[in-house]
Structure 1
Amino acid sequence: MLELLTISASADIIRSDIGGGYDNRCSFHGGCEYRILFDCTINNITSYPPSPSLLTGARAVLPVFRTTPKPVLYRESGFSPPEIELDRIALLATVRLRRLDPYHPLRRRAEQIASNGRQISRFARRTLALPNSEQINPLQYAPWHPREPRGNAQARIGAPMGRTKEQAAANFMAFQRTIPSSDIVIFSDGSRLADGRAGGGYIGLQAHHQFLRSSLSYGHGKEVFDAEAEAAIAYPTAQFATNLWICLDNLEVAIRLLSPSTGSSQEIFESFRTLAAAWPLRKRLPHTKSGSIQIRWVPGHAKIPENEAADLAAKEGAASIPPAPHKSSYASLKRYAKTQSLSAAQSQWEKVAPQSYQDLEITTSPKRPGELQLNRLDLGHVIAARTGHGDFADYHEHFNHDDAYLLCQCGARKAPLHFFFCHIAKRRAPRPPGPPSEVISFLLGTAKGAQKLATWLAETHFFEDICPRQPLLST
């Protein structure tokens, strides 16, 4: 493994800047410049399209040598290639069609395209490519429609409002004991698995006895937000209860359930409001009061048995076989747009990742790389060690840097992985324990490892007086 890392670091020097015939210059000691031309494809790696502005920005963000490959600049800066970023913006704009009012010309045009199915323009192709999803009407409630202040809604549902989870759990259990035994209490919860499938679950109690339990599967078309909203709708007809209490641990759902909604799952929330209005008109026994539906927030994962039971039912629902395809929610549609962008960036990175990054198992291209939390000096050392484009003997010899100093104070040649094997550094501070191949992959291949490497380099003063760019002046 170490041999592969060392060989690939040297090979990446030759790979250098993977540009489409770009005239790249690298300036180092004494201001000398060397003109290098590179082919747009090297070792079957497809390059990114030219984007001078983005690359200039990436080089301003990152402390790197000019010959650092373009894929590395994009990956380490968190910038997306221009074609991926433009596709993301266009997709998000298309998603927003689902939230236009019924009289908006773009919505009318999109409805015409959906009815005839003809892909006669880019707008039509993007519109037809969207999954079947709900349509939000932002004008269903006028802006001057009276709305309950958020603070009042939080007080009504027993929101945390500064309390700790333990305090909120104790207060909820005390409140639960005050609910009349004849009332029905529904604990509902939603869950989403790692693969994107969502589900809901709920249990019903009356007179401290559980008489209802159900799990619901929503497939990939719902968010946890939507799953909890739908789980809260499904409650039994009550002949004996005065009030129906809906208890759930999603604060936003709890606030929105009885309020006018112009967001995701608008139809679901409106259905719940209709059911809440119909509750006093339900068929009930003569001695039973009309009552109402009440919403109560319950702290999640706070060892409240009923909520834990609802959470288990929700997980079972998410893991079960989803129903036939149905309309996705607006929230899941936005997540779909985000996922498409991340997936495109990841696919592109897998095609263009330098061999040294593959050897270090750096397989992802995150939007916000954790390494950017390092200071610029440490970040530069990490990227140089990953790419081989830095103050290393092979690099200087390749570019004929005659005035470069090629040796460490220990007498060994400067190399991307020399910091790990330098015997002077070993005496100053112990390196992380473990097999070298695993430790090096951790230190250079992960953001957490890069933080530990930066700490170790600071303790040993490795690049200051053990392996400096130029030999230290003797006193």
Structure 2
Amino acid sequence: MGHGDLKPEVYPSAAYIPVGIGGKRASHEPRPLNIHTHTHTHTLHPPWTIQESREAALTRVGAPEGRTKEQAADNFQIFLQSIPENDIIIYSDGSKLDSGQTGGGFVGFQANSQILRHSFPLGPNKEVFDAEAEAARAGLEAAAAHPTAQRASNLWICLDNLEVAIHLLSSTTGSSQAVFEEFRTLADTWPTRRRLPQTERGSIRIRWVPGHADIPGNEAADQAAKEGANKTPSSSLPWSYAALKRHTKSHDFLKAQTHWQSAAPQAYQDLEITTFPRRPEELKLPHPLLGRILAARSKHGDFADYHERFNHQDAHLSCRCGTRKSPIHFIFCQIAKRKAPRFPGNLSEVIPFLLGTPKGAIQLAAWFSETQFFEDICPRRPPS
């Protein structure tokens, strides 16, 4: 039996930062917070409660499990053909615009005909994860109330967000807890709905769909979700846990950037060094090489001006080439030029690149190692 033939079982309800570079500064300050938030607790489900394993949940929803998107799409199309004609299939999706507005939408099919379609706005206080969960819950509610539900044994909820899919009939301590609880409560009532005598009680089934794979139902749900995000909610909705976490993180980052722009040493400002990214790649360099680069950035190191400033009587102020040591002497050193090719480009661009970006710092460290610049050419103390 292939992946596309799987019929998942129903699960019962029951920073040292300043060395970093690059990044675009935010163009606006974060908007003020509305403190009205959804209730969220990490102890909603006690740790001694028997939980479904992630592996079991992934199998239950038909997760990709190493398949390519094309393979998963083909398997899903085959799987659709195995669903009884009278079962209802709901495709749900969530969307978030560049403006931050979110929305959800769903479409429903039965006997190869569309019987449901709806879109709704959620405003700026949600994330796509929340919108996906809201759309699945709304789709389930609409399908259960539809007159033709009495002819359907099972109700299939199909969505392309794997994390939402595995939590719809399981427990979660993440965002949109109340929505997932409502979904499970609605799912419990499906077998008790009014139905025709020959119709089985059935259950709610969850199925993952590969997104943007030309699956008509999923594409229709995606379009409905975008329409929802473009609408304006009638009132401000509470912040979700995921959205509040994202906003707080962004707010802290912008505050740090603002402070850094005023407090950064002039040398760092000249190189346009910011606090982003948090873990720049140059931090992985060997400490001796990283130390040389940080010294050149800060101008605090084995440099003539630095030694004279602090009256270091025993310091050697010149390179072996006879030139005074400086943070960017490696660019001009005649011995180094003969030993290894000079960095190409204009100095006004080369120096900020080498000292002001993670990629440039890594290249510079490799050049230092290749030329043995600080060991042989411009050592702290000349050979005896």
Judge same fold: TM > 0.5, yes or no.
yes
Contact between 1:246 and 1:295, CA under 8 Å: does it hold in 2? yes
SS in 1 for 2:93: strand
Distance 1:295 1:231 in 2: 13
Deviations 1:71-113 (A, max 9, x none): xx762399xxxxxxxxxxxxxxxxxxxxxxxxxxxxxxxxxxx
Q: Sort the Cα spacing of 1:273 and 1:454 in 2 relative to 1 into closer, same or farther, 3 A.
A: same
Q: Sort the Cα spacing of 1:165 and 1:466 in 2 relative to 1 into closer, same or farther, 3 A.
A: farther
Distance 1:427 1:304 in 2: 62
Work out which of the residue numbers 129, 135, 138 in structure 2 matches 1:225: 129
Matched, 1:297 2:208: yes
Counterpart for residue 458 of structure 1: 369
Deviations 1:307-346 (A, max 9, x none): 4554465456546656532211123233333333333322
- CA drift of 1:193 comes to 5.3
- CA drift of 1:271 comes to 1.7
Contact between 2:18 and 2:273, CA under 8 Å: does it hold in 1? no
Matched, 1:132 2:36: yes
TM-score normalized by the length of structure 2: 0.77
Work out which of the residue numbers 409, 419, 423 in structure 1 matches 2:330: 419
- CA drift of 1:427 comes to 4.0
Q: Sort the Cα spacing of 1:397 and 1:275 in 2 relative to 1 into closer, same or farther, 3 A.
A: same
SS in 2 for 1:234: helix
Counterpart for residue 61 of structure 2: 157
- CA drift of 1:276 comes to 2.0
The ranges of structure 1 where at least 4 consecutive aligned residues each deviate by more than 6 angstroms after the TM superposition are none
Counterpart for residue 449 of structure 1: 360
Counterpart for residue 76 of structure 1: 19
- CA drift of 1:268 comes to 0.7
SS in 1 for 2:90: strand
Counterpart for residue 266 of structure 1: 177
Counterpart for residue 184 of structure 1: 88
CA root-mean-square deviation: 3.4
Counterpart for residue 246 of structure 2: 335
- CA drift of 1:353 comes to 0.9
- CA drift of 1:389 comes to 0.9
Distance 2:314 2:352 in 1: 32
Contact between 2:102 and 2:127, CA under 8 Å: does it hold in 1? yes
Deviations 1:375-408 (A, max 9, x none): 1112112111111111112112222223322223
Contact between 1:191 and 1:198, CA under 8 Å: does it hold in 2? yes
Deviations 1:418-465 (A, max 9, x none): 223334434443345433322322222222221122122222322222
SS in 2 for 1:246: strand
Give the letter aligned to residue 18 of structure 2: R
Q: Sort the Cα spacing of 1:437 and 1:173 in 2 relative to 1 into closer, same or farther, 3 A.
A: farther
Deviations 1:340-392 (A, max 9, x none): 33333222212201122122111335543433111111211211111111111
Q: Which moved more, 1:416-425 or 1:212-221?
A: 212-221
Distance 2:165 2:96 in 1: 18
Give the letter aligned to residue 60 of structure 2: R
- CA drift of 1:258 comes to 1.2
Counterpart for residue 318 of structure 2: 407
- CA drift of 1:153 comes to 2.1
Q: Sort the Cα spacing of 1:319 and 1:355 in 2 relative to 1 into closer, same or farther, 3 A.
A: farther
Distance 1:158 1:229 in 2: 18
Counterpart for residue 383 of structure 1: 294
Contact between 1:131 and 1:333, CA under 8 Å: does it hold in 2? no
SS in 2 for 1:218: strand
Query: Identity across aligned pairs (percent)?
Result: 59
Deviations 1:244-284 (A, max 9, x none): 32222322211110124454212111221232233344566
- CA drift of 1:295 comes to 0.5
Q: Sort the Cα spacing of 1:220 and 1:400 in 2 relative to 1 into closer, same or farther, 3 A.
A: same
Counterpart for residue 171 of structure 1: 75
Distance 2:313 2:119 in 1: 72
Which stretches in structure 2 are left out of the alignment for 5+ residues?
A: 1-14, 22-32
Distance 1:425 1:307 in 2: 61
Matched, 1:359 2:302: no
Distance 1:263 1:307 in 2: 25
Counterpart for residue 43 of structure 1: none
Give the letter aligned to residue 417 of structure 1: I
SS in 2 for 1:76: coil
Matches within 5 A, 1:87-98: none
Q: Sort the Cα spacing of 1:442 and 1:201 in 2 relative to 1 into closer, same or farther, 3 A.
A: farther
Q: Sort the Cα spacing of 1:140 and 1:389 in 2 relative to 1 into closer, same or farther, 3 A.
A: closer
Contact between 1:75 and 1:366, CA under 8 Å: does it hold in 2? no
Deviations 1:291-318 (A, max 9, x none): 3321112334556565455446545654
Number of residue pairs matched by the alignment: 352
Work out which of the residue numbers 374, 391, 394 in structure 1 matches 2:305: 394
Distance 2:120 2:345 in 1: 47
Contact between 1:431 and 1:456, CA under 8 Å: does it hold in 2? no
Q: Which has the higher contact order (CA 8 A, sep 6+)?
A: 2
Deviations 1:24-75 (A, max 9, x none): xxxxxxxxxxxxxxxxxxxxxxxxxxxxxxxxxx9xxxxxxxxxxxxxx762
Q: Which moved more, 1:377-386 or 1:289-298?
A: 289-298
Distance 2:383 2:177 in 1: 69
Work out which of the residue numbers 346, 360, 368 in structure 1 matches 2:279: 368
